[in-house]
Structure 1
């Protein structure tokens, strides 16, 4: 399976409409890939919380339409990063969209762990309440978003549900870049899965983005890593490697689940 991570530069001088069209064109260029991944909240910027309400859109809004068409034109599975979704009851969510090669919306995931503590995303957005996997030909993909990376319990649940590839779009800041790399490798090692972690470049809302999107194999080895600027990172991954790794080093069978709290 060939995967391409599109590390999008988010520049506040570029309108959401213009960025949406530009990113759709980039997706269309990935015709040789099987899976294309975009970052978290690339239309508006993950830290631009003052724009969340004004740029929110319904699940089948303009970003959905543009990405569905791009996935169909390129003939790829597209994890379109995430958007600010305005639900039917008016609640805002940080929602990931996954499209099949025919442009069908195959899965959505509302981010469970909201970053910001007592401000920003944590107080402006609702929280998702379920782990989500999606079946691709020959493998199962587990969905998580940015701050979720710090919570291994979610990834254990995704692994238990059959995930072999863990896809993590993000808007991760430069000042915590070391955590980004460390946690991506940790989630790969402890779950014996591939991790495809796709971040943003540029600076938005005054927060410099880390970039350095990364693909990690089930043994924790970095297969490819981007730099700090906008970049397309393409790498071949073999889902069969997951089964071989788990058979050769069967650590997952020693899990002890449901421990009582002290």
Structure 2
């Protein structure tokens, strides 16, 4: 299976429409890949909080239309990163979109864990409430977004839902880049799955981005890693390695569930 992670920069001098067109062109260039991935909130910038409201769009808005056509043109499964979604009956959401090779929407995931500690995304966006998986011909992927990476229980839930890989778009800050790689490897090891984590380059609202998109296998080995700038990271991997790893080292079978907390 071949995956391409599109680590693009969010340049404040580039309009959202121009960035949509550029991203769509990059997607089309990946024709022949099985899966293409874009980062989190690449239309606005993950830390450009003041633009979330102005640039928010309905689920089937302009980004949906452009990305659906790009997926169809390239004939790829496309995780189109996430957008600020405006729900007509509710708040904004940080919502990921996945398209099939015929341009149909296969899944949408509203980010569950919002970053900001009572400011920024944490107060401007609503929280998702559903775990989402998508069955590709070769593998079942689970969906997570950026800050979700710090919450292992979400990944265990995706394992229980049948995920063999997690695709995670992000706008991860450079100052915590060491956590990015560490946590991606940890989630891969503890859940015996592939982790495909696609970040952004450049600077969002003064916050330098980590870049360093990474693909990790079920043993925690880094199969491919980008640098800090704009880059297309392409990697080939064998989805069967999930089953092989879980068979050789069946740690997931030893999980003990429902343990009561000690009384105090």
Question: Normalised by the shorter chain, which TM-score bucket?
Answer: over 0.9
**2:120 matched residue in structure 1:** 120
CA distance in 2, matches of 1:142, 1:258: 23
Aligned to 1:85, the other structure's residue is in SS state strand
State the 1:261 CA deviation. Answer: 2.9
- Classify the secondary structure of the residue corresponding to 2:4: strand
Runs of at least 5 residues in structure 2 that lack an aligned partner in the other structure: none
How do residues 12-91 of structure 1 correspond to structure 2 at under 5 angstroms?
12-91=12-91
Structure 1 residue 258 displacement after superposition: 2.1
Aligned to 2:159: 159
Alignment correspondent of 2:182 = 182
Q: TM-score, normalised by structure 1?
A: 0.99
Unaligned runs of 5+ in 1: none
Q: What does residue range 1-262 of structure 1 map to in structure 2 within 5 Å?
A: 1-262=1-262
Distance 2:94 2:189 in 1: 27
Between the aligned partners of 1:221 and 1:251, the Cα distance in structure 2 is: 17
CA root-mean-square deviation = 0.6
SS at match of 2:116: coil
Rounded to whole Å, the distance in 2 between the matches of 1:256 and 1:99 is 36
Residue aligned with 1:149, SS = helix
Q: Deviations over 1:133-165 (max 9, x none)?
A: 010002100000000000000000001111011
Query: SS at the partner of 2:39?
Result: coil
Deviation track 1:113-138 (CA, whole Å, cap 9, x = no partner) reads 00001100000000000111010002
Task: Specify the SS of the correspondent of 1:235.
Answer: strand
SS in 2 for 1:94: strand
Please give the alpha-carbon distance, in whole angstroms, between the structure 1 residues aligned to 2:259 and 2:84: 36
Q: Give every structure 1 segment of 4 or more consecutive aligned residues whose post-TM-superposition deviation is greater than 4 Å.
A: none
1:210 positional shift? 0.2
d(CA) in 2 for partners of 1:261 and 1:18? Answer: 53
Per the normalisation by structure 2, the TM-score is 0.98
2-structure distance, mates of 1:191, 1:68: 31
Please give the secondary structure, in 2, of the residue aligned with 1:117: coil
